[in-house]
Amino acid sequence: MSGVKKAARHVNQNEGVIFEKSSPGKAAWKLPPLDVPEVDASELLGAAERRDLGHMPEVSEIEIIRHFTRLSTWNYAIDLGMYPLGSCTMKYNPRVNEAVSRFDGLANGHPYQPERISQGALRILRTLSDCLLEITGMQAITLQPAAGAHGELTGILLVRAYLQKQGNPRKKILIPDSAHGTNPATAAMAGYAVENLKSNSAGMVDVAALAAQMNEDVAALMLTNPNTLGVFEQEIHKIADILHGKGGLLYMDGANMNALVGKVRPGDFGVDVMHLNLHKTFSTPHGGGGPGSGPVACKNFLEPFLPVPVIVSKADGTLGFDYDRPQSIGRVRAFYGNFGMHIRALAYIMANGPDGLRQTTEDAVLNANYIRKGLEGVYDLPYPTPTMHEVVFSDRMQSKKGVRTGDIAKRLIDYGFHPYTVSFPLIVPGAMMIEPTESESKEELDLFVDAMKSIAEECANVPDMVLEAPHSTRVSRLDEVAAARKPVLRWKPNS
Amino acid sequence: MRYLPKSPADREAMLRALEARSIDDLFASIPAEYRLNRELRLPAQKSEPEILEWFQKCSHENGKGLPSFLGAGAYHHYRPVIIDTIISRGEFLTAYTPYQAEISQGTLQSIFEFQTMICELTGMEVANASMYDGSTAAAEAVMMAMRVSGRRRVVIARSVHPEYREVLVTYGQHQDMPLTTVAFGANGRVDMEELDRVVGQDCACLLVQSPNFFGTIEDVPALADLAHSRGALLVLAIAEAVSLGIVKPPAEADIVAMEAQSFGVPLGFGGPYAGVIATREKYVRQMPGRLVGETRDKHGKRGYVLTLATREQHIRRERATSNICTNQALIALMANVFMTVYGREGLKALARQNLAKAAYAREHFGRHGRVLFEGAPRFHEFVLQTTENPYVINSRLLEENIVGGFPLKKFYPELGNAALWCCTETTARASIDAVAATLARAQTAGRRRPEPEPEVVR
């Protein structure tokens, strides 16, 4: 462990599941006295009355605080250090965003409260919409989708509704082989067949292949740009032309929009519709897997199909919701989307301003290229094409000693880092996908490069050290096969 | 920029290491004609106090913590202080989906406990880590039932939350999903006779909400019997999770799609909330969303991992059970803490208070209007028909700084001047009495003359 500079071992507490602490009569709650007459639940509910809540816990407040605090110390987090999960954009989550989202009128506003006492919320939605339109260069937007994949579904439904109105919804969606799994899963949910599009040797869309595959059956191409290799699709104008020439649309998966903000706008390079991940580019916290938010921005010709409701300015100068939209694809979620995330994203945009957002993009790209330079020659770089906010290496050199990308990732944990994204994109065997984001200092990047070099040496000299990693965690590698073969998905007494 | 940890010298040193002349060298792959050669037209960088001030102003314009009788799928319950204490810990707040189990045991174990408590409360055998919200959970549960049964037709009760029904229509529009809607009877429950006619051997599932949109508790065992007799599944939506403290769990259902917002999640103008799908063990492989399972490490130590991932989009791509990836983990953690705080006895006591407040309001409001759907049990919502237009009543109440019930004209025009009223443990008797007094005046006014419809406030 001599090569480890960033982390030291540290005592943390054991903790069982909460149910094991429960015993009758303990309580963490107290209700205020009831100011109306008591009721007889049996009389009101009859056979529908419930009398027993099974194994729900009975514990005190201090036990709950310790329980969750102990659990929390078993997690790695951005607040602890670099979290270079490629494609996930684990950037700093500013705390002022948390503070403003908890303001009473915003946190406790009911979605059905009258519009005249909802003007503050509506102004936030409108302002964020305007900012996102300027950032993307698009013309209309919905904030309703709850996450990126939900935005994809919304966007493809817009495409379908538009094509349907032209007389033919078409049959399939083209998806590059480097795409996220959500893209094909989304196409299927929108009733489309999926056709794979091969990447060329530079890791980009093979434009000749696209031209050959494009025909009147293709509704759209779902393109991530920069793609999952971190490569900007340089022939984007040709790609858009080929699609448009045959009446298809260009959908952009905005998962990597953090490489473009302030430098180039999808609306300017031929994109018809796209989603954004507010939990990636716009810093809303990932929270262990959500909530996210996946606004969908589009060109004007798709605007009539946006989900209901849309925000409109009324004659009296106030803002309101418009539900009367006969061509709408319908609603994709109850109410208006993950409003709390909209607040946070807007606070982030305000804190940055135009210059800050541009600098953020530049630093993200600078950081990724700095790592690429530092690790070139140490790990195999399957695509030498210039990259932007992330870089994908492979385990080709290390696998000769039997060490794979997943093992190297586990060893990184011992060095105090969260692993990179393992085995994705699928077009790179043994992929190691690294995205540092702008939130890392030069010192942290240097430590990361050192750690990766040190692990490469271990792969050559003491491969078992890597194969058995991590060595410093509470639990060692867990038996995932057993977990899937005989699933235990809940606690049971005496289990 | 205060979030960026670099000095100009750092940037210069890094560019030198890259042998780049300027940062623009790193953006050379973007064709010149598309580059944005200007700053974005956005508000200028703001300091922290300026940001606080801007949002504080929005907050003030957005109601001022007025007493409210709105429910209809979003409920105001008291949130124990420690919920925010716990979810604000950076280790929960700023972690990602727990793919790397060895350094994610905190998130994983808490999800495992969440899944367990959802099972205990719903009477189901397995529950997932969360869905976006109740509406999308219901739509995904229906599509799951289509996969399980191999059938296409879906029967949905008109008493399911109207926006949940709209979401189902959106999700199902290209899924070859014929949809039949069944009416509610005079007692507010699903019309069993009509149901008997429309649920046939081609029916994948029946989607019912309980308590339903009107607050009425459905006869779940009878609905399950009917569905099962035709080989269909019963999908049960729950929009008000607190009801589970005192209403029998829908153990006879095959899939439960619930909204967990009531469990300590702020109203937040409609989101983020957290949906959940729970079901029987035999259907788990058709379930969408993340699942956490218990396992052992190589030393035999108990630990938790994401499991059964072969259902999911990152493995199965277009053949996945859903395209869902990011879900609502931190919101599920809020619900988890809430359920732990109240627990076995507290949830019951809490639900009892909700029941009592609504019973009191129903009795007092009922003197000045007609309470619809008598004859079936209810939780904490009820429909009141008035002589006067509910929008007019609400405008008057708003002048008294009270937000009235949810007018039903938009979704249920056949109910006339009706509104859905909700009371929770947070509703003060004084507010209920104040509304009753206003209703009394409205009753007299309504008898005298019909008022013109005001600008609709939803």
**A279: number of Cβ within 10 Å:** 30
Question: Which residues in chain A have Cβ-Cβ distances shorter than 8 Å to B350?
Answer: 29, 31
Question: Using CB atoms, which residue from A50, A58, A422 is nearest to B343?
Answer: A58
Q: Are A29 and B341 in contact (CB < 8 Å)?
A: yes
Distance of residue B279 Cα from the nearest chain A Cα, in angstroms: 12
CB A284 within 8 A of CB A346: no
Determine the distance in angstroms separating the CA of A225 from the nearest CA of chain B, rounded to an integer: 11
How many residues in total does chain A contain? 495
Closest CB to A366: pick one of B26, B272, B331.
Answer: B26
List the single best residue of B323, B357, B393 to mutate versus A (max A Cβ within 10 A): B323
Q: Is pLDDT above 90 for B454?
A: no
- In sequence order, what E strands does B189-319 have? 203-209, 233-238, 255-259, 275-279, 292-296, 302-306
pLDDT at B443: 75
Contact B324 A147 (CB under 8 A): yes
User: What whole-number distance in Å separates Cα of residue A418 and Cα of residue A86?
Assistant: 11
pLDDT of res. B39? 97
User: How high is the pLDDT of residue B451?
Assistant: 52
- Treating both helix axes as pointing N-terminal to C-terminal, what angle do B8-17 and A339-375 enclose, rounded to 10 degrees? 50
Interchain contact, B95 vs A288, CB within 8 Å: yes
Q: Do B103 and A418 touch (CB under 8 A)?
A: yes
Q: Give the ipTM of the model, two decimals please.
A: 0.97
**C-alpha to C-alpha distance for B134 and B207, rounded to whole angstroms:** 13
Question: Chain B interface, mutation test: which of A449, A490, A494, A495, most B Cβ atoms within 10 Å?
Answer: A490
Q: Which residues of A touch B112 (CB under 8 A)?
A: 17, 489-491
Nearest CA in chain B to A56: B344
Closest CA relative to residue A109, chosen from A101, A118, A100, A122: A118
- Name the band, by pLDDT with cuts 50, 70 and 90, for residue B457: very low
Would you state the pLDDT for residue B455?
A: 45
SS3 B337: helix
Q: In this complex, how many residue pairs, one in chain A and one in chain B, have their CB atoms less than 8 Å apart?
A: 701
Number of H helices, E strands in chain B: 13, 13
* Contact list, A71 vs chain B (CB under 8 Å): 105-107, 109-110
Structure tokens at A284: 């809303």
Kindly determine whether residue B303 and residue A475, on different chains, have CB atoms separated by under 8 Å.
Answer: yes
CB A68 to CB B170 under 8 A? Answer: no
Residue B442 has pLDDT above 80, yes or no: no
Do B40 and A289 make contact, defined as CB atoms within 8 angstroms? Answer: no
- Cα–Cα distance for residue pair B139/A189, rounded to 1 Å: 12
Which of chain A's residues have a Cβ under 8 Å away from the Cβ of B354?
Answer: none
Which residues does chain B have within 8 Å of residue A63's beta carbon, measured at their own beta carbons? none
Q: Which residue is closest to B17 within chain A, CA to CA?
A: A370
Within 8 A of A347 by CB-CB distance, chain B residues are: 51, 55
Distance CA A8, CA A79 (A): 16
Query: In a mutagenesis test of the A interface, which of B79, B81, B144, B340 is the best target, namely the one with the most A β-carbons within 10 Å?
Result: B340
Closest chain A residue to the Cα of B221, Cα to Cα: A48
Rg of chain B over Cα atoms, rounded to whole angstroms, equals 25
Q: 0.90 cut: is pTM over it? A: yes
Which chain B residues are Cβ-neighbours of A191 within 8 angstroms?
A: 173-175
- A72's tokens: 């929390």
Q: Which residues of B touch A160 (CB under 8 A)?
A: 174
pLDDT score of B310: 86
Spell out which residues of chain B touch residue A115, defining contact as CB-CB under 8 Å.
457-458
Instruction: Test B90 with A80 for CB contact under 8 angstroms.
Output: yes
Q: What whole-number distance in Å separates Cα of residue B157 and Cα of residue B175?
A: 20
Contact A478 B2 (CB under 8 A): no
For residue A105, list chain B residues with Cβ-Cβ distance below 8 A. Answer: 58-65
Helices and strands (H and E) in chain A: how many: 15, 12
**Which residue in A231, A333, A358 has the most chain B C-beta atoms within 10 A of its own C-beta, making it the best mutation to test that interface?**
A333
B115, B248, B266 member nearest A48 (Cβ)? B248
Cα-based distances in Å from B223 to A224, A404, B25, B146:
46, 53, 66, 18
Q: For residue range B173-193, list pLDDT tens digits in order.
A: 999 999 999 999 999 999 999
Q: Please tell me the distance in Å from A157's CA to the nearest CA on chain B.
A: 9
d(CA A248, CA A241): 9
Q: Phi, psi (5° rounding) for residue B381?
A: -130, 150
Which amino acid, residue B362?
R
Tokens representing B140 are: 């995904």
Chain B residue closest in CA terms to A131:
B42
State the Cα–Cα distance between residues A125 and A106, nearest whole angstrom: 12
Is residue B122 scored above 50 in pLDDT? yes
Tokens of A484: 């899937």
Of A109, A191, A288, the CB nearest to B92: A288
| Confidence (pLDDT) at B447 | 63
How high does pLDDT run on average in chain B?
Answer: 95
**Inter-chain residue contact B291 with A120, CB threshold 8 Å:** no
The whole-angstrom separation of Cα B309 and Cα A484 is: 8
- Chain B residues lying within 8 Å of A363, measured CB to CB: 4, 6, 11
Q: Which residue in B20, B27, B174 is closest to A191 by CB distance?
A: B174
Residue type, A243: L
**C-beta atoms of B4 and A69 within 8 A:** no
Report chain B residues whose CB lies below 8 A from the CB of A473: 102-103
**Residue (of A271, A311, A253, A279) closest to A146 by Cα position:** A279
3-class DSSP string for A20-63: HHCCCCCCCCCCCCCCCCCCCHHHHHHHHECCCCCCCCCCCHHH
| B448 confidence band (pLDDT: 50, 70, 90) | low
CA distance B249 to chain A (A): 7
pLDDT of A495: 56
With an 8 Å Cβ cutoff, are A333 and B135 in contact? yes
CB within 8 Å: B93 and A27? no
pLDDT of residue A119: 97
The model's pLDDT over B92-113, given as tens digits with 9 standing for 90+, comes to: 999 999 999 999 999 999 999 9
For residue A135, list chain B residues with Cβ-Cβ distance below 8 A: 40, 42
* B425 contact residues in A (CB cutoff 8 A): 31-32
In chain A, the residue whose alpha carbon lies closest to the alpha carbon of B356 is: A39
Specify the pLDDT at position B313.
85
Q: Residue A38: its chain B contacts at CB < 8 A?
A: 352, 356
Whether residue B293 and residue A484 make contact (CB cut-off 8 A), yes or no, is: yes
Reported as a pLDDT band with limits 50, 70 and 90, residue B321 is confident
Q: Which residues of chain A have pLDDT under 70?
A: 1-2, 495
